[in-house]
Amino acid sequence: MQFIPRYDGYIFDLDGTIYLGDILLPGVAELLATLRREGRRIVFLSNNPTKTRRQYAERLRRLGIDADEHEIVNSSAVMVEWLLANAPGAPLFVVGEAPLIGELEAAGFPLSERPGEIAFVVASFDRTFTYRKLQIAFDAIRAGARLVATNPDRFCPVPGGGEPDAAAIIAAIEACTDTRCEVIVGKPSPIMARTVSRLINLPPERCIIVGDRLMTDIAMGITAGMDTALVLTGDSRRADLEHSSYRPTYVLERIDELIRETS
């Protein structure tokens, strides 16, 4: 039996941790309501760039969870932030979906399909991926464009299985161009960790990251110096711990074990 203390800050992954598809996972509503009553700081975190922060907040509210878009960090927002800091106004070719493209355009980045004009190819989770997109990315990188990506996930969990995620897009582009992706801004990147740390504005030892993936959620929390909780409602299974170098502080069958006296 292990005592789980309260933390001042809680950072929650979304897909596979708070919900699965359009289903709120068991214990989530009770947990978040308790933490809100106690005045704990909460940040919601996602590597999925197929929705904006506003859309994530609206989705949470539809599921009965009080959430504001300013409490949400996702990989598309971090990609915008990184590009603004490192290459403001650079012409882009985006292998991604409309929400990511819209956020980049709103931040002032011109989009191009002419290889000689493109400074960065942005690879992402893209359910509209086509050979034409691969060809443009191929030509652009051969002409000198740099390859960056929103997130490294192999798949996105959905009820009954998963959908191929950004790792598949990155791999396709890397394979044909014989190059490597320079920067991936999503979990477990320290780039996203710094964004989250600024938002929650607490020392890392007073925070905990809760997620369903050892290689992203738990890895980022450990690197950031935070305690971590692996919840077994999404990607990772208890058996995966035997073969992983990432050791979460806690392993939970249900997320609301965080607010029980023992687990």
Pick the CATH number of 9-47+187-259 from 3.40.630.30, 3.40.50.1000, 1.10.10.10, 3.30.365.10: 3.40.50.1000
| H or E element in which residue 179 lies | none
> How many whole angstroms separate alpha carbon 185 and alpha carbon 74?
10
Distances in whole angstroms, Cα of residue 63 to Cα of each of 24, 194, 234:
6, 29, 18
Q: Which of 8, 15, 153, 165 is catalytic?
A: 15
- 15 an active-site residue? yes
**What is the 8-class DSSP label of residue 111?**
B
Tens-level pLDDT at each residue, the chain (263 residues): 568 999 999 999 998 999 988 899 999 999 999 999 999 999 999 999 999 999 999 999 999 999 999 999 999 999 999 999 999 999 999 999 999 999 999 999 999 999 999 999 999 999 999 999 999 999 999 999 999 999 999 988 777 788 999 999 999 999 999 999 999 999 999 999 999 999 999 999 999 999 999 999 999 999 999 999 999 988 788 888 888 889 999 999 999 999 975 43
Per CATH, domain 76-184 is 3.40.640.10:
no
Binding-site entries for substrate: 46-48, 187
Binding-site entries: 13, 15, 46-48, 187, 212
Nearest to 209 by CA among 193, 227, 223, 234: 227
Domain 9-47+187-259 and domain 76-184 have a common topology: yes
Q: What is the DSSP string of 13-56?
A: E-BTTTEETTEEPTTHHHHHHHHHHTT-EEEEEE---SS-HHHH
Helix residue spans in 47-165 (DSSP H): 53-62, 75-86, 98-106, 131-142
> How many whole angstroms separate alpha carbon 179 and alpha carbon 117?
19
What is the pTM for the complete model shown? 0.90
Pull the structure tokens for residue 241: 């711990």
- Collapse the DSSP code of 238 into the 3-class scheme (helix H, G, I; strand E, B; otherwise coil) and give the result: helix
Q: Which of 8, 13, 165, 235 is catalytic?
A: 13
Binding-site entries for Mg(2+): 13, 15, 212
